[in-house]
Amino acid sequence: MIDYEKTPRFPADNYLNRELGLLGFNRRVLAQAQDERMPLLERLRFLCIVSSNMDEFFEIRVSGLKEQLRAHAAGTTTDGKTAQETYRLVAAEAHAIVHDQYQHLNEVILPALDKEGIRFMRRSTWSDAQRDWIRNYFHREMVPVLTPIGLDPSHPFPRVLNKSLNFAVELEGKDAFGRSSNIAIVQAPRVLPRVIQLPEELTGCAYGFVFLSSILHEFVGELFTGMTVIGCYQFRATRNSDLFVDEEEVTNLRTKLQGELPQRHFGNAVRLEVADNCSPAITEFLLAQFALQASDLYRVNGPVNLVRLMQVPDWVDRPDMKFRAFTPGTPKGLPKSGSIFDAIRKNDILLHHPYQSFTPVIDLLSQAAKDPNVVAIKMTIYRTGTDSVLMQALLRAAQSGKEVTVVVELMARFDEEANIGWATKLEEVGAHVVYGVVGYKVHAKAVLIVRREEGGLKRYAHLGTGNYHPRTARLYSDFGLMTANEEVTHDVSEVFKQLTGLGKARTLKHLWQAPFTLQPNIVAAIAAEADIARAGGKARIVAKMNSLVEPEVINALYQASQAGVDIDLLVRGVCMLRPGVAGLSEKIRVRSIIGRFLEHHRIFYFYAEGKENVYLSSADWMDRNFFKRIELAFPLLDPKLKRRVITEGLKFYLADNQQGWDMNGQGVYQRRRSPRSKPHNAQGELMLTLGG
């Protein structure tokens, strides 16, 4: 749900629109697909990522806007726009992005792939031999699982799953029962692949593909014997997928959530995608069935779901058309064999994913599960996947009699089902499973291991900026810190006490924690730099994050800029702050980096009169992270590791003139190109510096 205010806290002109900022991010992802320097199959993959991002944008953000429209919300967002104004702007830009996306697919990507022997074969080009093979496939693989539904008083319009592929078929004639319904719906089961590869001997090229939609269009008449097919049109409805669970009224969150999850597929429709040849009559009919307006209709020249093309680059064995294979490195100080606890006890260990391997994190949990000296393991879980080696290690630890406590966030969007599954398995082997704190999502990334050693019990911790998910650790940029520092591990222990027990929050020595101290400490650190600048001292702030939307922090940054603080912000996605505005933010620069890997780490740097305080965090600078989630920010206390974060996480990115986008005060981004200077690509240089 989008938050609207009766009276914004700060002048509306100081802020950019959040929804348009999200669409701006998707524009930059689309630009990756349009970048001729990118390998061709990766450009196709970026086009698919745009579709995936747009799906979530409609499922969550647009659905929130529509809820406000239905409620006739009178308030405005922080930037001063009403729900009606925002929706109008969002719809116009979303239509433009989709148009440009499909235009680039049809006019650039597909012809370029065709020249390389990777062909998506249209019906008009099928040879007789190809048509025979495809018809046989239709009858063998598709007909047994298809259920055509003729619409009449006893067969109403079916419940259409969120984002499922469907076909509206216009018919003439009468069926075996004398019925003359002129419309039928054919739903494509999700078990059917959306892209089918033909044998090479039939296509004359290395990789010949046909779309499932093309096959059904060609042979749909065979599902309606004796009737005439006038037209067949693919369509897809996107629905509100934001689960609503009133946690204050729930006695068992897991049971309630299990009941709500199936309904996610049938929320209110927010978008209708149809093929561009869909007849006006069918278009109007479908809009009426989903209670949508003309502005909710997206006509596309191609498959209505490009996300299903994401697998094609994996099927094609053409390394020359993909990113160069990359092997993550292993940081110094970690033994190839032996105890990882001995290494952590000697020095803190910093991991920079995906440039460095996630294996040490897996090893930490695996060794803890097997080590007879380990007596307890505590861990937070937000996203970990359905097949997680980390969860398997926790199961083994609990089965061996160790005290295992897992804080599972059941409300992790689109991962609820996987998390419920792991929670059930952990409980079955005797682990303590808790679901955090009512009203707050547990988004912090933390592991605490208690080990019996000479002299008593010793605590070890892992703190991270990203999820405990081995697959995304190969795709997202994140930092992770392994430490045995007594004060830091004591803080982590206190946080786990809060999450599992009751009582007042104790003061933490090193960690900043939302919803208590994180936002006030960030505002205070910004204000401290402003005070130093006013006194004539050197003042500097550099922060890297996914999103910047929280008004009080933005206001503090404006005041710091006016005081003379030099500020660089690396914001991958939404930034509501206006940089470079005279009298407001002249000392602030905003940059977005879009590359091979998803920029995900959060780094907060304050010069602090030469002390250079550096924090890593799980939290973006957003209202939800500061006030509605349990988050952590942790300092780099080891000078060498602090220097690494400054260099690898900030300096490399500030120097990037290949994948960087500079934002102006109107929220418009321009690619950062410096033809006279040496090219710098942060991700490429980190791969060379840290890779194996």
Amino acid at 581: V
Residue 286 near residue 298 (C-beta atoms within 8 A): no
Query: CA 514, CA 518: separation in Å to the nearest integer?
Result: 5
Residue 592 near residue 661 (C-beta atoms within 8 A): yes
How long a stretch of residues is the chain?
A: 692
Q: Based on C-alpha coordinates, what's the Rg of the chain? A: 27
Q: Which residues pair with 185 in a beta bridge?
A: 149, 168
- Residue 449, helix vs strand vs coil: strand
For residue 139, indicate whether it is catalytic: no
**Where in 46-97 does DSSP place strands (E)?**
none
| Active-site residue, selected from the candidate residues 443, 469, 601, 680 | 443
Q: Which residue has the tokens 């940089």?
A: 579
Query: CA 285, CA 158: separation in Å to the nearest integer?
Result: 13
Residue 355 near residue 425 (C-beta atoms within 8 A): no
Q: 518-534 and 551-563 helices cross at what angle (nearest 10)?
A: 10
Q: How far apart are the first and last CA of the chain?
A: 44
Residue 34 near residue 213 (C-beta atoms within 8 A): no
Q: 18-34 and 40-56 helices cross at what angle (nearest 10)?
A: 160
User: How deeply is 609 buried, as exposed, middle or buried, from its count of CB atoms within 10 A (0-12, 13-18, 19+)?
Assistant: middle
Residue 268 near residue 160 (C-beta atoms within 8 A): no
For residue 219, how many C-alpha atoms fall within 13 Å in the half-sphere facing its CB? 19
- Residue 228, helix vs strand vs coil: strand
Q: Which residues of 341-363 are buried (b: 16+ CB within 10 A; e: fewer)?
A: bebbeeebbbbbbbbbbbbbbbe
| Cα–Cα separations (whole angstroms), residue 235 to 100, 148, 277, 303 | 19, 15, 11, 9
Element (H or E) spanning 389, and its range? helix 389-399
Token code pair at residue 387 = 């097949």
Query: CA 56, CA 458: separation in Å to the nearest integer?
Result: 43
Query: CA 198, CA 210: separation in Å to the nearest integer?
Result: 7
Nearest 10 degrees: Cα torsion 149, 150, 154, 160? 40
For residue 447, how many C-alpha atoms fall within 13 Å in the half-sphere facing its CB? 26
Q: Is the bond preceding 675 in cis, omega lying within 30 degrees of 0?
A: no
Active site (catalytic) residues: 443
